[in-house]
């Protein structure tokens, strides 16, 4: 099988062969004109060699390094402005110099003579730098050579220019080496004060840190700090033991008294006060008198009222005295009622002693707790100091390392300075003249006419063939079915089938379908396409619509043959010609179109018994012929009659094929798409444009994404029509005039693209 790129080139060659021929003729003509031109004057090439000078015996490492760096020369360094100017001054003839100075003086009369002379030298120096070629060695070995090349029509001048250039380059090499040495010394002297200052600053930081943190670090190193932490922990354990004994005594006394420490303090203070004891006795006496009087007198009696007033006065005095005893005069201490004070002040001497002991133990407990908190804080501080010791040691080591690094840099710079000062007397140039400039005789470079014509012919063939191929690529068409399939795969469009090319496809007319005969060799391709449609999605597509990106791609041809193949398989099939912008093709099925359908198209489509026609030559095949070209095609397709037609045929038929106009001409296919189960895109090599196919695929895929509620796929896939693939004929078919290949399985393989339609039709009937 021929490669797709070869097919493309052969088709492009057939279309653009005159462009290639014109390119070939132009190339041959130009080569002939070039061959007839007179030969230019001979140009002499002067070549001189510069060698790398081996450094003499030296003692300083800086001198050795400078000599090695001096061998790493570049073209720009060798052709420095000073080198070219020095060469121009020595090689420019006085006459030419005077002539150019005179011409420049006329242009710039205000410039001084020195300025004009400097401009002339600069001009010649720039030209010389552009004309001289420097070929550096691949690797700067000691035995490598640098070529200095200069071309001129004057042999002596060429040799003189090269000689002067090499002398100037050798001198320039020495200047570069000595300047590097001076720059190194100056750079060291420039940086040395800063390095010295940084070393002193690092030493001062280390000294200050050791003064501040050295004691802590030495305490850890000597073991003093860990011993202090252990001693602190021992003191805490002792205090906790003492605190536990005190708390046990406090608990025992509280249980015996029935009071806590604070209540015991209040009761002990109130019971020990003599004034409160006297007031309690007086209140007791008054209450005794009231009790006696109330047995005989009422509360309104003057003696009872007087005793109540005395009792109230004594209670106020008792509350006031209780506040004074407890402290704060009732402000800082809590206020207590007279009854509460009398109860709290009722402790006897034994219970007062117990309360006193409880208060003392409470004070002792608070003291021990305070001591324990202080020791715990001290322990935490000691542990923080101990935990910070590693960081302090690391900081001390870091500062010491900085001092060492600064000291090492300082020592290194001092050593480099001494070494560089020693190298001043040892530095020489890195180049020497290895070979004086020489020139060779120049032969005429004029080529013969046959050679130039042959070269021109080869170039013409090359450019002509490339131009033809380029024009074929820029055409934008697909020239092979492999290219079409690759474009569809790139767009993620399913390829449902590849259909073979049929001879005379564009001129079939009434005999357009090729699978009309039951034994047609093309039937298997359309049968394969039909079975592929059944495997799409969850359910097989029942109503499919065929369209294409542009006209001439075989959508109607494919729709007819797909419907015939479906009917041959036993399916009740209907073909709907929905292209209302072109004439009907039903005459190829031996059916005459209804001439009145174009007069009343809505009435035509509204009556299914009139519009659906039976195909006499194919069993199970029905067709709805197109009325022909209609002015209001969109209105008819969007009408309710058309919608009812699709709803009715979906229930009546097993498979429905709808032929619609191309997408580039109108939107009829998109209008009919909601009535169907999906669209099939038809493409054809040699007719389909890559841009239009990509645009059509994107349009259908974007529509599919915009309507997620639609059942099934909007773009079912694509058909590649008119592919250059072999068609197998059964051995029982009679031979006919076509190129055939015998196969091992007994079949015959034929390229159907070269079979005349009438010949193919007659043989199929046989």
**pLDDT tens, residue by residue, 361-383:** 888 888 988 888 888 888 888 77
Q: Specify which of 364-373, 446-455, 504-513 reaches the highest per-range mean pLDDT.
A: 364-373
Judge whether residue 757 has pLDDT over 50: no
Instruction: Kindly state the average pLDDT of the residues 590-614.
Output: 85
Selection from 438, 425, 441 nearest residue 166 by Cα: 438
Q: What totals of helices (H) and strands (E) does the chain contain, helices first?
A: 24, 15
Judge whether residue 613 has pLDDT over 60: yes
Contacts of 690 (CB under 8 A, 6+ apart): 476, 477, 478, 487
Tokens of 652: 């009546």
Contacts of 67 (CB under 8 A, 6+ apart): 55, 58, 177, 427, 428, 430
Tokens of 220: 């850890």
Could you tell me the end-to-end alpha-carbon distance of the chain, in angstroms, rounded to an integer?
30
Judge whether residue 557 has pLDDT over 80: yes
Judge whether residue 638 has pLDDT over 60: yes
Instruction: Kindly state the average pLDDT of the residues 557-582.
Output: 91
**Per-residue model confidence (pLDDT) at position 224:** 76
**Per-residue model confidence (pLDDT) at position 654:** 92
Instruction: Kindly state the average pLDDT of the residues 733-740.
Output: 40
Judge whether residue 745 has pLDDT over 70: no
Judge whether residue 575 has pLDDT over 90: yes
Identify the residue with better confidence: 308 or 141.
308
712 pLDDT band, cuts 50/70/90, is very low
Instruction: Kindly state the average pLDDT of the residues 118-144.
Output: 78
Instruction: Kindly state the average pLDDT of the residues 661-688.
Output: 88
Judge whether residue 445 has pLDDT over 70: no
Tokens of 245: 């004994």
What burial class does residue 492 get, using C-beta atoms within 10 Å of its C-beta: 0-12 exposed, 13-18 middle, 19+ buried?
exposed
**Per-residue model confidence (pLDDT) at position 625:** 92
Instruction: Kindly state the average pLDDT of the residues 718-727.
Output: 83
Identify the residue with better confidence: 53 or 413.
413
Judge whether residue 406 has pLDDT over 80: yes
761 pLDDT band, cuts 50/70/90, is very low
Selection from 133, 111, 110 nearest residue 120 by Cα: 111
Identify the residue with better confidence: 31 or 680.
680
Instruction: Kindly state the average pLDDT of the residues 488-509.
Output: 72
Cα separation, 248 vs 250, in Å, equals: 5
What burial class does residue 263 get, using C-beta atoms within 10 Å of its C-beta: 0-12 exposed, 13-18 middle, 19+ buried?
middle
Cα separation, 582 vs 688, in Å, equals: 20
Cβ 256 vs Cβ 267: under 8 Å: no
Beta bridge partners of 145: 51
650 pLDDT band, cuts 50/70/90, is very high
**Per-residue model confidence (pLDDT) at position 764:** 30
* 3-state secondary structure labels for all residues of 218-244: HHHHHCHHHHHHHHHHHHHHHHHHHHH
Cα separation, 157 vs 44, in Å, equals: 10
Q: Specify which of 13-27, 156-170, 710-724 reaches the highest per-range mean pLDDT.
A: 156-170
Judge whether residue 360 has pLDDT over 60: yes
Identify the residue with better confidence: 24 or 228.
228
Phi and psi of 74, rounded to 5°? -120, 170
**Per-residue model confidence (pLDDT) at position 347:** 73
Angle at 394 between CA 391 and CA 400, to 5 degrees: 145
**Per-residue model confidence (pLDDT) at position 205:** 85
Q: Which of 281-290, 327-336, 341-350 has the lowest mean pLDDT?
A: 327-336
**Per-residue model confidence (pLDDT) at position 621:** 92
Identify the residue with better confidence: 599 or 8.
599
**Per-residue model confidence (pLDDT) at position 593:** 78
Q: Which of 163-172, 175-184, 288-297, 539-548 has the lowest mean pLDDT?
A: 175-184
**Per-residue model confidence (pLDDT) at position 763:** 32
**Per-residue model confidence (pLDDT) at position 229:** 82
**Per-residue model confidence (pLDDT) at position 715:** 85
Judge whether residue 627 has pLDDT over 80: yes
Q: Specify which of 24-33, 445-454, 556-565 reaches the highest per-range mean pLDDT.
A: 556-565
Structure-token match 């109607």, residue found: 556
**Per-residue model confidence (pLDDT) at position 441:** 64
182 pLDDT band, cuts 50/70/90, is confident
Identify the residue with better confidence: 46 or 645.
645
Q: Specify which of 47-61, 136-150, 526-540 reaches the highest per-range mean pLDDT.
A: 526-540
Cβ 577 vs Cβ 625: under 8 Å: yes
Cα separation, 548 vs 663, in Å, equals: 6
**Per-residue model confidence (pLDDT) at position 546:** 93
**Per-residue model confidence (pLDDT) at position 563:** 92
Structure-token match 């580039």, residue found: 664
Identify the residue with better confidence: 598 or 14.
598
Q: pTM for the full model?
A: 0.42
Contacts of 219 (CB under 8 A, 6+ apart): 225
**Per-residue model confidence (pLDDT) at position 332:** 40
Identify the residue with better confidence: 14 or 74.
74
Tokens of 6: 């070869």
Mean pLDDT, the chain, rounded, equals 77
């Amino acid at each position: 099988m021929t490669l797709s790129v070869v097919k493309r080139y052969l088709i492009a060659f057939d279309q653009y062969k005159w462009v290639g021929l014109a390119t070939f003729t132009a190339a041959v003509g130009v080569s002939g004109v070039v061959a007839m031109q007179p030969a230019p004057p001979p140009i002499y090439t002067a070549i001189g060699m510069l060698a790398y000078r081996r450094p003499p015996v030296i003692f300083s490492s800086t001198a050795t390094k400078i000599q090695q760096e001096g061998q790493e020369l570049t073209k720009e360094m060798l052709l420095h402005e000073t080198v070219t100017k020095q060469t121009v001054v020595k090689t420019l003839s006085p006459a030419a110099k005077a002539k150019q100075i005179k011409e420049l003086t006329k242009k710039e009369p205000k410039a001084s003579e020195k300025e004009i002379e400097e401009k002339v030298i600069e001009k010649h120096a720039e030209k010389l730098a552009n004309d001289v070629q420097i070929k550096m060695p691949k690797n700067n070995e000691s035995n490598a050579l640098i070529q200095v090349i200069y071309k001129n029509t004057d042999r002596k001048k060429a040799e003189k220019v090269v000689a002067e250039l090499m002398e100037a380059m050798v001198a320039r090499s020495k200047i570069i080496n000595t300047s590097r040495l001076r720059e190194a010394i100056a750079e060291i002297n420039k940086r040395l004060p800063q390095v010295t200052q940084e070393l002193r600053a690092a030493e001062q930081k280390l000294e200050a840190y050791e003064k501040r943190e050295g004691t802590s670090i030495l305490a850890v190193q000597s073991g003093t700090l860990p011993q202090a932490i252990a001693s602190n922990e021992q003191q805490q354990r002792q205090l906790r033991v003492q605190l536990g004994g005190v708390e046990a005594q406090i608990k025992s006394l509280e249980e015996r008294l029935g009071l806590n420490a604070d209540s015991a303090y209040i009761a002990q203070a109130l019971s020990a006060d003599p004034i409160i004891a006297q007031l309690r006795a007086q209140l007791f006496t008054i209450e005794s008198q009231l009790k006696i009087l109330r047995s005989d007198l009422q509360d309104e009696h003057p003696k009872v009222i007087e005793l109540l007033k005395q009792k109230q006065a004594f209670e106020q005095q008792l509350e006031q005295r209780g506040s004074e005893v407890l402290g704060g005069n009732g402000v800082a201490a809590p206020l207590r009622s007279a009854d509460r004070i009398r109860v709290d002040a009722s402790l006897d001497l034994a219970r007062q002693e117990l309360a006193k002991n409880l208060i003392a133990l409470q004070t002792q407990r608070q003291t021990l707790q305070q001591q324990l908190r202080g020791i715990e804080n001290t322990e935490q501080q000691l542990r923080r100091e101990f935990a910070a010791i590693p960081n302090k040691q690391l900081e001390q080591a870091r500062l010491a390392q900085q001092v060492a690094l600064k000291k090492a840099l300082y020592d290194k710079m001092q050593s480099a300075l001494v070494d560089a000062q020693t190298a001043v007397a040892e530095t020489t140039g890195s180049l020497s003249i290895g070979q004086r400039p020489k020139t060779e005789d120049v032969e005429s470079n004029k080529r013969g006419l046959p050679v130039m014509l042959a070269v021109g012919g080869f170039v013409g063939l090359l450019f002509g063939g490339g131009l033809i191929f380029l024009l074929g690529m820029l055409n934008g068409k697909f020239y092979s079915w492999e290219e079409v399939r690759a474009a569809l795969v790139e767009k993620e469009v399913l390829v449902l089938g590849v259909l073979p090319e049929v001879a005379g496809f564009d001129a079939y007319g009434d005999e357009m379908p090729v699978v009309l005969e039951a034994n047609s060799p093309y039937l298997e391709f359309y049968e394969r396409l039909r079975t592929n449609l059944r495997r799409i999605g969850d359910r097989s597509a029942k109503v499919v619509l065929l369209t294409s990106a542009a006209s001439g791609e075989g959508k109607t041809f494919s729709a007819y043959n797909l419907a015939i193949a479906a009917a041959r398989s036993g399916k009740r099939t209907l073909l709907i010609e929905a292209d209302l912008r072109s004439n009907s093709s039903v005459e190829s099925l031996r059916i005459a179109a209804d001439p009145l359908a174009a007069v009343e198209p809505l009435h035509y489509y509204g009556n299914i018994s009139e519009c659906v026609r039976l195909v006499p030559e194919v069993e199970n095949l029905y067709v709805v012929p197109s009325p022909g070209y209609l002015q209001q095609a969109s209105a008819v397709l969007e009408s309710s009659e058309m919608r009812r037609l699709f709803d009715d045929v979906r229930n009546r038929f097993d498979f429905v094929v709808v032929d619609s106009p191309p997408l580039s001409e109108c939107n009829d296919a998109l209008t009919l798409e909601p009535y169907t189960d999906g669209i099939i895109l038809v493409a054809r090599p040699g007719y389909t444009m890559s841009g239009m196919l990509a645009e059509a695929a994107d349009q259908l895929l974007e529509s599919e994404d915009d309507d997620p509620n639609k059942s099934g796929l909007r773009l079912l896939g694509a058909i590649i029509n008119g592919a250059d693939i072999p068609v197998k004929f059964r051995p029982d078919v009679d031979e006919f005039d076509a190129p055939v290949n015998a196969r091992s399985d007994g079949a015959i393989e034929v390229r159907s693209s070269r079979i005349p339609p009438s010949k193919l039709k007659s043989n199929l009937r046989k």
